[in-house]
Amino acid sequence: MFEFNDTDLIFETSWSSLSAQSRFDVELKSSWSDKEQYELFRYKYQVERFVRMPGKFGFLAVLNTNRGTKRRVPIQFHSVMEPFNDEDFNFTKVDSREFLFGLRYNKNSATDTDRVASDQSFTDDVLAINASPLGDFHSLILPKMSSKLPQSINEHSLRLALQIILLSASPAIRIGFNSLCAFASVNHLHLHLYYLPHKMYLESCDLEHLSGPCYKIKEYPANGFVFILRCDDKLSSFVEKVFVLIYHLQNYNIPHNIYITRGIDHKISNIADDKRNCIRIYVWARNPSGYKEMDKFTPAICELFGHLVIKDQAEFDSFTEENISKILKDVTQSTFTSILNNIKTLYLNL
């Protein structure tokens, strides 16, 4: 069991200190590496090829043919809010050796002024390996795993994800969520965690204020919404504000992807390029996924962020920033445009 409290949370990191590790980083990486001896992975993760595509957005393309051929066949879904089905594959059915450790917030050390709400009790939150990894130390966050919650993110799981990213000393840690019909392959609540040791465009890109705490991305092909967590924000209040948008997407059966990364607070000038002083949450409302894309290129959380996991050698050699941008725009443009005014209205009084 990994126990933590507010003193473990790290709000500022730097790309110039990429090798820095917190207590959490050490525990996760050592536990994950230990699992490799048990042949629990469907393949050994390695970067076959990668390239930083020329262009404004600096897309990072990584060839991973194993994920295209050896990954568990995804389940197809027809609604964002399908109920949990115990007959389908879920994470209570995996080999118990795939679990890394549980997480527990030690509320006894919290105070009234803590950023973390003092009424939380993380007794059934688990980290597990992803047996089909797409990045370094790719793991699954399984909030309240034994409760068998469906794949619809809730406030508890988003709060937990933010705490986990703040437990790391690395600017490279990333967390993402695919809803059903947005390339989630299992209807059991889970988020993805991995380390991507490359600076990315969306860590520091310009944002445009929409209303309240909600921003939108400026001049990027995947149109989406953005929220900024700063060091003086109260975590519980911040999560509630983000969920105004997420509840809307869930209630209207709109597929969505969520990506959480360390970034630069665009409101603070003269920040060194290598510093990361906030958390950015990107939320993309998108067209429903079709599994015909699964064989070569899947426009899910990583791809929307600019980390392109490509499963076919020929496709890897043929992609350019121009054709990738077209795919990302096609996935998000119409849905984003259709809900933009509604989301702006939702946040007018926040």
Task: Say which residue the tokens 């840690």 belong to.
Answer: 173
Which residues, including other chains, have CB under 8 Å from residue 302's CB and lie 6 or more apart? 134, 135, 176, 259, 308, 309
Active site residue 138: no
| 207: β partners | 217
pLDDT in tens, 136-159: 999 999 999 999 999 999 999 999
pLDDT tens digits, 88-130: 999 999 999 999 999 999 876 544 334 433 334 446 999 999 9
Q: Please give the pLDDT value at position 118.
A: 35
Query: For residue 74, what pLDDT band results from cuts at 50, 70 and 90?
Result: confident
**Chain segment 185-233, per-residue pLDDT in tens:** 999 999 999 999 999 999 999 999 999 999 999 999 999 999 999 999 9
Mean pLDDT of 276-297: 82
Give the chain's mean pLDDT.
91
What does the pLDDT look like over 306-341, one tens digit per residue?
999 998 888 889 999 999 999 999 999 999 999 999
pLDDT-derived band at 266 (thresholds 50, 70, 90) equals confident
Q: Give the whole-number percent of the chain exceeding pLDDT 70.
A: 93
Q: What is the CATH number of domain 2-346?
A: 3.30.428.70
Task: Report domain extents, the chain.
Answer: 2-346
Whether the pLDDT of residue 269 is over 90: the answer is: no
- At residue 115, the pLDDT reads 44
Report whether pLDDT(35) > 70: yes
Which of these is catalytic: 188, 190, 256, 266?
190
